[in-house]
Amino acid sequence: GSTDTNAQNGTNKSKDSERRKTPIIPFSDLLLASWSTRFKLGDIKVQRFGHPLLSNLSTSISTMALFSSLSSSAANEDGKKQRPKSHNRLVYGKDDILFGSIEERQGDRPFGRVLDAGTGMHSLRWIATLSETLGMEHVTCITADETMRKNVQREADDLEITDVSKVIIGNWFGPDGTTSINLKPESFDVILADYLIGAMDGFSPYQQDLMLPKLVRYLKPGGRLYIVGLEPLPDKAPGDANIICKVRQVRDACILLGGHRCYREYPMQWMERQIEHRSSHLKLIHTSTFPILYRHQTIVNQINVGRSKFSLFPTKELAASMKKVMDDLEAQSLEATSRAPNGRIRLGFDYVITAEKTDDAKAVTMEGVCIER
């Protein structure tokens, strides 16, 4: 085994709208009180994430932002060309701990032709940076939602990568099990599955075990598959962390009562088994885990997802009863986070798995980093 570590119709999480801008602390740097930032989606992706040594982290972030702003202004005054405002939305590996880990695993290998198998605004903003120094030649973005396709295409235009990108609407698994996506086999050097497996239950339920073999078909020999996923939360957790489990359960109940499907996250070990035993052409290279720290607002964001379904409930009486439950959970979460170090409760983790299309022997390494939501 190995360790290392974080939709549809706005149910469990919105892949981009709540995605990851949060401080993270690598375990190896914790004693040095160093920090970096992560944009993230998730349970809130976001995602997804304190730290007793960083008592003044928010001030540090504000100061860094101020220095960055002053530096940018000074550069403009010196006559340097100001880049389009849309470029300020770009997400570099240094900004996103999960994408940063992918860049680290890729090393000196050029990204070449990239397939974003379940695209979103956030992943596109990262992929758009790969052509600058990391050898990305072209990206194909897949989404099953027409509105998302339009938004991603508009963002690609704004980021000025239209000439090296293509946005396709389609479902990897149609009603009859076939795909509406027409791609050339073995045509991609890198495939990104960014929370794709967890989101599939909203579009292609009960097909999750078939996703990796399908993706491998489009990967060149020696190409890399990067899987980003969120470890499912337990049904119960010790101490104050249990409030996060309760919120998840009630939130999902609201989603179901509203007639929508919940996301179904899959454990890291399940994903590794798919690679090692069900995908004969894949070799497991590396797995990284990123423990999650939940703020009160992160928990409230998930409570609000449940509240947003009240109008879809079958009766007003049921909605009123559930509203009281949600209000009580919000109060309990405030009490729980107030008792936690730096107001953050640690529970669960995100993971990034690296696999390669080859028949060579498997090699796995381990490492860990902490993510704060």
Q: Give 19-72 pLDDT, tens digit per residue.
A: 354 333 333 332 222 223 233 333 333 333 333 333 333 333 333 333 333 334
Q: What is the mean pLDDT of the chain?
A: 78
CB 343 within 8 A of CB 372: no
Distance separating alpha carbons of residues 327 and 303, to the nearest angstrom: 9
Q: Residue 169: how many CA atoms within 13 Å on its side-chain side?
A: 9
Domain residue extents for the chain: 20-51+87-372
Q: Is the pLDDT of residue 221 over 70?
A: yes
Q: Is the pLDDT of residue 86 over 70?
A: no
Q: Which residue has the higher pLDDT, 289 or 145?
A: 289
Give the right CATH number for 20-51+87-372 from 3.40.50.150, 2.40.10.10, 3.40.640.10, 3.40.50.720. Answer: 3.40.50.150
Output the CA angle 100-2-199, nearest 5 degrees. 60
How many residues in the chain? 373
Per the rule left: phi > 0, alpha: psi between -120 and 50, beta: everything else, 66 is alpha
Strand partners, 352: 228, 288
The DSSP element (H or E) to which 247 belongs, if any, is helix 242-257
pLDDT at 277: 86
**What's the pLDDT band for 236 if we cut at 50, 70, 90?**
very high
Q: In this predicted model, what pLDDT tens digit does every residue of 181-214 receive, in sequence order?
A: 889 999 999 999 999 999 888 778 888 999 999 9
Residues 142-159, mean pLDDT to the nearest whole number? 88
The DSSP element (H or E) to which 328 belongs, if any, is helix 316-339
pLDDT at 317: 98
Distance separating alpha carbons of residues 150 and 215, to the nearest angstrom: 24
SS3 of 124, please? helix
Q: Is the pLDDT of residue 275 over 50?
A: yes
pLDDT at 43: 34
Q: Is the pLDDT of residue 149 over 90?
A: no
Residue 206 tokens read as 């009960």
Q: Is the overall model pTM greater than 0.85, yes or no?
A: no
pLDDT at 1: 34
